[in-house]
Amino acid sequence: MTLYKKPLLALSAAFSTGIIATSAVAQTAAPKIDSGDTAWMLTATALVLLMTIPGLALFYGGMVRKKNVLSLLMQCFAICCLMSILWMVIGYSLAFDAGNAYIGGLGKVFLKDLTLGAVNGTIPDSLFMVFQMTFAIITPALIVGAFADRMKFSAMLWFTGIWMLVVYAPVVHWVWGGGFLSKDGVLDFAGGTVVHINAGVAGLVAAIMIGKRKGLGTESLAPHNLVLSVIGAALLWVGWFGFNAGSALAANGTAAMAMVVTQIATAAAALTWMFIEWGMRGKPSVLGIISGAIGGLVAITPAAGFVDPMGALFIGIGSGAACYWGATWLKRKAGYDDALDVFGIHGIGGIVGALLTGVFANKAIGGTAGLLEGNAGQVVTQAWGIVATVIWCAIATAIILKVIDLIIGIRVDEETERDGLDLGEHGETIQ
C-alpha cells in the first residue's frame, strides 16, 4: 500500500465511524414533545368530547318523544362521567398496556405511570390517554339510541360500564394496542371497527333483547324536536374532525388529508341519502339528510388516513345508500326496533367503511395499497376484522344484558314507559 493511501483510509474510517456514532445517538435520543402537535391534539381531544356532550346528546334528544328527552340527555351525560373514571381506573390499561394478543395487561391501572414527562410520539402520554378516553366515552353513548325510551337508567349504567371494559377495551387492544388484528394488517384509522361496528352491533343486540317500544306501529313515535337533532348533527360533524384528523396524533399532512376526505365523504353521503329518499318518498326530509351525513362520517372513519379524495367520494356515496337501506328496508324486514337507527347508521356505515377502506386504500397516502392498486387481499383482511369484531361484540353484549336482566331487569315498567322516562326515572319534565 502506498504512503498516500494510508491517511486517506484512516480519514475515511474516522468519517464513517462518526456517521455511525451520530446515527446511533439520533436513534437513541429521547423523544421530544412537539408544541404544534400537542396544541392540535389538545384541540382534537376537546372536539371529540364535544361530539358526545352536547353533540350526540342533542342529536338523540331531538329524535325521541318529548317525555323522554331529559332521560336521553341524562344517559349521555352520565356515560361521559362513568367512562372517564372507568378508563382512568382500568380501561386504558386493558386497551393499551402490553398484555397479549387479545387483552392488555394491568400495568397502567389508575394511570400509575402517567408522569408529567411521559411522551407518546411527539405529544404527552397524558394527552394520548385523554384523547383515547373521549373515544371510550362516545362509543357506549352511541348504543343508547338503540334502546331509547325503554331501558332502566340503573341497567344502562351497569351495561355500558361493563360493556366498555369487556367489549370495547379488548377490541381497542386488538386494533390499536398491538393485538392480533393489528398484526394481521387490519386498517382502522380512527375507529370504524373499534367504535362504530362495535356500537352498532351492540345496539342491534340490545334492541332485540329489550323488545319493541310500546305503541310502535299504532301511535306516533316521531321526533319531538328536529331542530335539536340538526344542531346535534352539526356539532357531531364539526367534532368529527377531531375524531378523524386527530387520529394522526400530529399536526401533519396525514391530519390535513383526513380532514379533507372527512368533509367530502360526509357531504356525499348526506346528498345520496337525500336524493334516494326524495325519489322514493317524494320529499327530502331534514331527518334524512342529517342521518345520511352521520352515515358518511361513520364510513370515512376507518379510511380517513388511507384514502384520497376520490376514494372518499365513493365511500360517501356507498355509505349514504347503504345506511338508508339499513335504516329503512332492513329494519322493517327484520322486525327489530332500533329506535334511533344505531345499527342502520353506525353498524352498516362502519361495515361499509371498513370494507371500502380495503378497496380504496392508497399506498401514497397511508402506506398500504388496496384493491384498486392490486392488493385484493386487503379486502379479505378488512372482512376478517369485521367478522371478529361482530362475533365478539354480539356474544359478549348478549351475555352482559342477560345477566343484568336476571339481576335487576333491563326494561322499565309499563307505567314508566307510558308516562315517560323523564318523570319515571328522574322525576323531572320539560314544559
Q: At residue 209, what is the residue type?
A: M
The pLDDT of residue 174 is above 70: yes
pLDDT score of 21: 42
The pLDDT of residue 113 is above 90: no
Nearest CA to 352 out of 382, 393, 307, 396 is that of: 382
The secondary structure of 221-252 as a DSSP string is ---S-HHHHHHHHHHHHHHHHHHHHGGGSSSS
Nearest CA to 413 out of 220, 155, 144 is that of: 155
Task: Determine the average pLDDT of the residues in 242-249.
Answer: 97
**Beta-bridge partner residues of 411:** 151
The pLDDT of residue 429 is above 60: yes
Task: Determine the average pLDDT of the residues in 249-261.
Answer: 97
Q: Which residue has the cell 335487576?
A: 408
Mean pLDDT, all residues of the chain: 93
Q: Which residue has the cell 377495551?
A: 169
The pLDDT of residue 112 is above 70: yes
Indicate the fold that domain 35-423 takes in CATH. Ammonium transporter fold (1.10.3430)
Q: Please, what is the angle between helix 309-325 and helix 286-300, to 10°?
A: 130
Q: At residue 363, what is the residue type?
A: K
How many CB atoms neighbour CB 273 within 10 A? Answer: 30
pLDDT score of 22: 43
Q: How far apart are CA 351 and CA 390, in angstroms?
A: 10
Nearest CA to 172 out of 99, 253, 118 is that of: 99
The pLDDT of residue 26 is above 50: no
Task: Determine the average pLDDT of the residues in 256-270.
Answer: 98
The pLDDT of residue 18 is above 60: no
Provide CB contacts within 8 A for 293, sequence distance 6+: 233, 237, 266, 267, 269, 270, 273
Give the DSSP H or E segment for 269. helix 253-281
Task: Determine the average pLDDT of the residues in 330-353.
Answer: 96
Per-residue confidence band for 9, with pLDDT thresholds at 50, 70 and 90: very low
Q: Is residue 284 reached through a cis peptide bond, with omega within 30 degrees of 0 on the bond before it?
A: no
Q: Please, what is the angle between helix 286-300 and helix 348-360, to 10°?
A: 50
In terms of phi and psi (left: phi > 0; alpha: psi -120 to 50; beta: otherwise), the region of 121 is: left
Q: Which residue has the cell 337501506?
A: 325
19 vs 191, residue with greater confidence? 191
Per-residue confidence band for 431, with pLDDT thresholds at 50, 70 and 90: confident
Biggest alpha carbon–alpha carbon distance for the chain:
104
How far from 223 is each of 68, 69, 87, CA to CA, in Å? 11, 10, 33
Q: In degrees, to the nearest 5, what angle opens at C-alpha 11 toward C-alphas 9 and 12?
A: 65
pLDDT score of 30: 64
Segment 188-203, tens digit of pLDDT: 999 999 999 999 999 9
26 vs 125, residue with greater confidence? 125
The pLDDT of residue 84 is above 70: yes
Segment 407-427, tens digit of pLDDT: 999 999 999 999 999 999 999
Q: In degrees, to the nearest 5, what angle opens at C-alpha 73 toward C-alphas 67 and 76?
A: 140
The pLDDT of residue 29 is above 80: no
pLDDT score of 315: 98
SS3 per-residue string spanning 368-401: CCCHHHCCCHHHHHHHHHHHHHHHHHHHHHHHHH
Do residues 137 and 84 make contact, with C-beta atoms less than 8 angstroms apart? yes
pLDDT score of 14: 44
The pLDDT of residue 268 is above 90: yes
Percent of the chain scoring above 70 in pLDDT: 93
Q: How far apart are CA 142 and CA 152, in angstroms?
A: 16
Q: Please, what is the angle between helix 253-281 and helix 286-300, to 10°?
A: 140
Q: How far apart are CA 181 and CA 387, in angstroms?
A: 11
Per-residue confidence band for 11, with pLDDT thresholds at 50, 70 and 90: very low
Q: How far apart are CA 232 and CA 136, in angstroms?
A: 19
Per-residue confidence band for 218, with pLDDT thresholds at 50, 70 and 90: confident
Q: At residue 175, what is the residue type?
A: V
